[in-house]
Amino acid sequence: MDSRSAALGFAAGAALGAGALYLYTRSQRCQQTAAPPDSAAAAQQLASAGGAALPGAAAAAALHSPIDMSCFEQDEILEEQLTRNVQFFGLEAQKRIGGSFVVVVGLGGVGSHAAHLLLRSGVGRLRLIDFDQVTLSTLNRHCLATRADVGTPKATCLAQHFADIVPEAHVEALVEMYTPEAEERLLGGNPDFVLDAIDNIDTKVALLAACKRHGIPVLASAGAGAKADPTRLRILDVAESVADPLARSVRHRLRRDYSIESGVPIVLSTERPRMGLVYHAGEGANLLDYQVVPNFRVGTIPVLGTTPAIFGLACAAYILCQLAGQPIAPEPHFRVPPKQFQGIFDSLYEREELRFGSADGIGVDAEEVEALVKDVWHGYSARAPHPPGHDKGITRSVGHLTLTRWDPAKPATIDNLVLLTHAEADDHDQLQNLDDVRQQEPELCARVEATLARAKRDFWWRI
């Protein structure tokens, strides 16, 4: 053996030794941290309970010895992999994300992209649910599927690819349809969040109602098909969802069947669908003969793959910020005549002069009043933050509202101005301090002060 070969052999041996040492160290850490309680028997439980067991590499992925992702910083590779997330959220928030459990139901264009970014962003446990398989026509919008995955269940496909991206995460793949009968099992384990990426109205509404019933935070996705404009994306309360046909149907069914009128956020596009369903049946054929699953649509929706990807990434961003304790406050979707914003500013000016003898303490201008009314208070009084049943969220009058100081001892700046009706503001202005409000209405006080804290964070450059 010449010296070159000997040197190469020595280097290779050193690399293998270092790798073995790293794997041993990691295995010791894995043993010291707690894995999810059902990780060891996940595949067997899913198979016996009705879900399909994962074949080959996917089963290995599901049963991989995961580490406790809330302690990711103890692992050198994970710590480096999640560096940018830590820089964005902070270490403690990222550890909360790592200790979170998210269920994604529906793994098509929207759900696959959302689950993918939840994984890459450090969510420690994912349950992926879908009964369908990858097809060639899926490939224009699926986040990771390749031609080699055609014929593979979508849940299995994601689990296989996820094992290559973050093998430390605990990923469960359930190849089955969500049904109310399986509700307790599919939503079991105390998930921190559920993403509804289902495109069937019956199943979608049943899932959303179940999450509300169990007190599980949930985000719904409306229809991404037949749309293309990325500037029309919105995240709204379901009570305000009139711009999307699927979202309208969800709102109606939740109200009619479950008496749920609000409290369900939904991602939608205000763009009108560019085309309708496409049917493949021949002339005179019975469309029900082409229905793969009872009560599911027969036709297909044309899809530009970019749109469900954008939907999915928006869903992931919303959920991650919620898990991190740094929630998004979506821009509301409504129109207000500009003169009403000027009217609110004028009312604040008059109120300051009457109460304090001068308006010099006002720390906002008319443009910032618009941001306060729309972005911070969403066009509602702080005492009635949810839209009434008749409010469809497109046009809204705010002429009956005014801004006033929340804490009279602090200046009239963005982080101390509360939106109330004129009568509510008159009553509030009688207070010398906030002691009575904190004692008599602690929930209102907590909600208002959380909103003002968010305003301070989001508009720090204006304060």
Q: For residue range 68-102, what is the model confidence (pLDDT) as tens digits? A: 999 999 999 999 999 999 999 999 999 999 999 99
Give this prediction's pTM: 0.70
CA angle in degrees (0–180, nearest 5) for 100-456-442: 70
Apex CA 91: angle with CA 263 and CA 218, to 5°?
15
* 294 or 401, higher pLDDT: 401
Question: What is the torsional sign of CA 301, 304, 310, 313?
Answer: positive
* pLDDT in the model for residue 14: 53
Q: Where residue 173 falls among pLDDT bands split at 50, 70, 90?
A: very high
| Burial environment of residue 97 by CB neighbours within 10 A (0 to 12, 13 to 18, 19 or more) | buried
Q: Alpha-carbon torsion 367, 372, 373, 376, what sign?
A: positive
Per-residue pLDDT at 59: 43
Alpha-carbon distance of 89 to 122, in angstroms, equals 12
pLDDT at 159: 97
Could you list the beta-strand ranges (E) of 77-190.
101-105, 125-129, 170-174
- The domain spans of the chain are 30-323, 338-462
Q: 138 or 293, which is more confident? A: 138
172 Cβ contact partners less than 8 Å away, ≥ 6 residues apart: 42, 46, 62, 125, 126, 127, 128, 159
> Do 79 and 99 form a contact (C-beta atoms < 8 A)?
no
The CATH superfamily holding the domain 30-323 is NAD(P)-binding Rossmann-like Domain (3.40.50.720)
Question: Collapsing DSSP states into helix, strand and coil, what is residue 194?
Answer: strand
**How many other C-beta atoms can be found within 10 angstroms of the C-beta atom of residue 67?**
26
The pLDDT, as a whole number, for residue 137 is: 93
Residue with the two structure tokens 């959380």 = 450
- Residue 200, C-beta contacts closer than 8 angstroms, at least 6 positions apart: 293, 295, 296, 297
CA–CA gap between residue 314 and residue 337 (Å, rounded) = 29
**CA distance linking residue 147 with residue 139, whole number of Å:** 8
Residue 245 binned pLDDT confidence (cut-offs 50, 70, 90): confident
Instruction: Indicate the pairing of strand 233-237 with strand 218-221.
Output: unpaired
Which backbone phi and psi does 353 adopt, to 5 degrees?
Answer: -65, -40
Q: Report the pLDDT value the prediction gives residue 284, as an integer from 0 to 100.
A: 54
Name the band, by pLDDT with cuts 50, 70 and 90, for residue 330: confident
Judged against a pLDDT cut of 70, whether residue 29 lies above it is answered with no
In the chain, the percentage of residues whose pLDDT exceeds 70 is: 77
Name which of 21-30, 175-184, 241-250, 450-459 the model is least confident about: 21-30
Residue 456 token pair: 């301070």
Determine the pLDDT at residue 74: 94
Cβ count within 10 A of residue 353: 13
**What is the C-alpha separation between 190 and 103, in angstroms, rounded?**
10
Q: Is the pLDDT reported for residue 265 higher than 70? A: yes
- Distance CA(314)–CA(308), nearest Å, equals 10
Of 66-70, 123-127, 180-184, the least confident: 66-70
From CA 98, how far away is CA 93, in angstroms rounded? 9
334 has a pLDDT exceeding 70: no
| 306: pLDDT strictly greater than 90 | yes
Q: Are 33 and 67 in contact (CB under 8 A)?
A: yes
- 45: amino acid identity, one letter: Q
Higher pLDDT, 160 or 392: 160
| Mean of all residue pLDDT scores within the chain | 84
End-to-end Cα, the chain, rounded Å: 73
Dihedral Cα 424, 430, 436, 438, nearest 10 deg: 50
Report which listed range, 24-28, 114-118, 296-300, is most confident: 114-118
Per-residue pLDDT for 377 more than 80? yes
pLDDT at position 15:
53
